[in-house]
Structure 1
Amino acid sequence: KFEEEVVASFKGLGYGFPISKTGLASVGAPHTWPPILAALTWLVGLLGYEEKAKASKLQDDAEPEALDDASPLEKVFFEYLGHAYVAYMTQDTEELESLAEGLNAVFEEKIQFIYDEAERQADINMALEDEIKQMDSKAASLPESLEKLENLNTKANDYRKVIENLLAYKEDFSAKVSKKNLQLQENEKKLGEIRTIVNSLKVKISSQGLTTEDVRRMELEQVRLKEGLERSKETKKSNNDELLKHEAELSKRFGKLEEIVKNYNSKASELQFIPITAKNSGQKKINDRNRKKGRQ
């Protein structure tokens, strides 16, 4: 019957209170409805728990990387609660003790891990303290290091200035090189023009049809002209030397003549022969004689 199946199902699910078959036959009666409502509420809670348990298991299987360090313990404890609740409802004392021992073992293992981690962190802290002490000892030399750093910065600034000067010199030198390259190009252009002219002259010379005898005669004539030019230069040099010699002699004689004239003028002045108006000047006597002739 339906009533018997319901009672057996609730008992199999671990419901802890008896359900009356008579109450199931008359559900609408006021004295039978509260126990049945309580059983239904318990059944809804059990179904909700089952649904959440399945969803949590699926989530753990789908996203295992999302679990943090506490998630395994929570999962173990959650599973323990599920199994312990079933054992409690079925009054299975041995299962409860086994579950409790397993949970204690898990927690003891976790506690031991925490102790080991604490010791490891203590070792790390000691190493950090040693490192801090070393850094404190190095801090004593910090002013000297800062002074060295300042000196290095000063040298770096000097090097920057040198580099700037070198760059400016490089730009100036590059400009000069460019200018020289332009001049070189112009010179090469002029050289090309000269080569063209030389080649054209060579062509003209080659087209004149000179014989070997003509060339030899021209060479002899050139040698003769050079020799004549050299002789002319030597003659000119000799004449110049002779001229300089005569000029020196003439200058010497002019000097003596000037000295004689100077002595003459001095003596003539003393004797009153000069100037013309002097007493003993012959010009005055000539003028007087001319005047007398004019009167006669």
Structure 2
Amino acid sequence: MGLTVKEHLERTGFTMAGWDANKGVHEPTQSAFVGMFKHIYASCIDTSFVMGADGKKFEDEVLTLMKEIKYPAADELSKTKLTAAGSQSHWPYCLAMLEWMVNLGNQAEIIGTGPRSRPDEIEDLQSLFFPYLWDCYDRFWQNEDTYPEEHAKLGVRFEEKDAAIERELKELQQEHVKLETELADYLNNDSPLKIERSENDMLTKDISKFHKYYDEVLVPKLDKTKKAIERLVKEIALTEKEIQDKDKRRIDLQEQVNAQEMSAEEYERMLAERNRLSKRLEVLGEQNKKAAGDGWSLEIAIAKKQADTEDRISKFNPLARSICLLPFKLATGNVVEELELTPSNPSTMLQAGVDIKGSFRRQIETLRSQEADKYRQASKKRLTMQEEYEKLQETLSDQEAQLGSDRERCEALSRQAAEYEKSCKSVQERYKADEAKLEKSTYETEASGSVHLQQAESRLTSLQLTAEHKEEEWNQQRSRMDEDMLNFVVLLSKMKGDVTGQLREIQAAVALKSRDD
């Protein structure tokens, strides 16, 4: 119960000397209770009210204020409870009073004050009439019978409401067109989720193929290349050693040649041999370069062929599944879900045991014969349905002839109905004339009745004023009786205290006399 009061005090910034929010709400002092009451009454009930301005005591003023604002439990409050509000027996009553004022103030902020503070709602068009009726009623009590200004204001309010509704309708129409465009775009094109999923599936397949190609082709090639490199390193080492030996041999032979005398014929012969070997070396270099280029071209062509084959296989797999060619059971008992390139099987580049020209061709011929049988059966069924269709055409022609005769009969009935409608119009015109006479007499009766009704309402208003005056007098008499009763109760409590004190004095005197005896 104290949580609402605590939240309100914290929200409105209440403070005082020695104030503690937790202790002040649950175990307050008398000064804390007085401060809380003044703050809550000023913030929730009357912001301009000043406590103690009339010179009354705090307890008397609180009781008066609670009666004025119709506090339901005002009869349960007393000066004793308000004087010692912090006691355990009195604080629940005082805290309930504070919480009631807080709730009253919060609800007053939400509800507003009268129809003028109510916001206009598009769904509730009746709210447009509230200010109009309020102003007309005020002017009615000022003895005015016509309200042209209020009619004009009501027309302006309806025009503003119509303009707001039209603006909102245009915005909704634009939003509807935009949503229809987006819907058509989504319906005509694949959804982003579908596109992303297809790309994800394609990338997943590419990754699995790459892993398979890496494990089955690249890793063996890498191992083979490593072994070739190791072999080449060894060969290079042997070749370098052989070159060193050849250099030593060349130096020895050169020294021997230098030591020997060479004829011109031998020199020319050696020079010709050297030129021949140089040309042979150039030819071999060109052949080596051409072979390397042809090797690269061959690898590129093989890669293109492999990509083209993968594309054809990717198109073949869904077609094969659509005609129930896949999955395919091999002679070994394995089941092939779909065809895919397998570099680890270089003989066919397909899964082990798959034979396109053998097993697959036989299966295709079997499926082709089955489809031919189905086609023949469908042709026979088509001929039967064609005969039934011709019979239905004959029946339809008979029905059309019957429909023509029925249409002629309906036209004759429609002409009769037109004549009947003309006679009904004349009867209806006479009925409208009689109805106009009846409305005129009814209007005259209502006019005379409204005069009597206004007289009765004026008498009712005077009686209501008299009743309110009597009720005010009764409330004043009741408040005076309540004050007298309260004073009487206070006097009784005071007399009770005096009697209790005198009894205690007598008991003490008797006890003292008994000790003396």
Scaled to the shorter chain, the TM-score interval is 0.3 to 0.5
**TM-score (normalizing by structure 1):** 0.38
Q: Which has the larger radius of gyration?
A: 1
